[in-house]
Amino acid sequence: MPQSDLQLMNYSEILSQLKAASAFDLYRLRAAIDRTLDEPTWMIAVQSRLRVGQTIEYFDPQANASHTGQLLELRRKQAVVLDKVAGQRWLISYAAINLDGADVDIREKPPQGLGRNEVAVGDRVGFLGRDHKERSGRVIRLNDKTVTIDCEQQQWRVSYSLLHRVLDSDANIVDGVEVLGPPAEPTRAGKS
């Protein structure tokens, strides 16, 4: 597929079309994609555009987000990258490297809340707790049906359908700590 076509892929549209597929269709498609990505021509095409020491952007499926790193080593099937933020070395697939600066955001249109693919580790989100109090915090883990959110040193597991975006510009910095409003009352058992 030509490079210009790759930049025009609309991941949100593809996902909406895949929702009509059966589980078997999706499984079969995944097997075909895995086989295609294992072909040496794809790896060689990516390797030919890389140099040790180069700064790259790569996609982390666990965090559902792009990261920036420095390329340390080119191996036969994977690259060794030093993550610029975490300072950790990672072994990543060549297919995870975003050479063309493609938009990786997926904008689902769920009935309410945020879609699973719209949330990334580190995002600021809010929700209305069972006690009807508004809470917000940073996403620290993505689970199958919920996200784990750190709200002022208290962790909450919240369904994706209950989440909404919170803009960072609303945050105030006091003594180096982000403050979003009056502190929430801690509860012992009640987590959304």
- Identify any residues that bridge with 137 across adjacent strands, giving them in sequence order: 125
Pick the CATH number of 3-96 from 2.30.30.140, 1.10.3720.10, 3.10.20.90, 3.30.2130.10: 2.30.30.140
Report, as an integer, the average pLDDT of 145-170.
86
How many percent of the chain have pLDDT more than 70? 80
This prediction's pTM: 0.60
List every span in the chain annotated with CATH 2.30.30.140. 3-96, 116-179
pLDDT classification of 47: cutoffs 50, 70, 90: very high
The rounded mean pLDDT for the chain is 82
- Is residue 185 scored above 70 in pLDDT? no
For residue 30, the tally of other CB atoms under 10 A from its CB is: 10
CATH code: domain 116-179 is 2.30.30.140
pLDDT, residue 187, reads 37
Closest alpha carbon to 156 in 168, 171, 138: 138
Q: How confident is the model at residue 186 (pLDDT cuts 50, 70, 90)?
A: very low
Token pair, residue 57, equals: 């952007």
CA 182 from chain centre, in angstroms, equals: 29
Closest residue by Cα to residue 75 from 97, 92, 54, 100: 92
Model confidence at 19, pLDDT cuts 50, 70, 90, reads confident
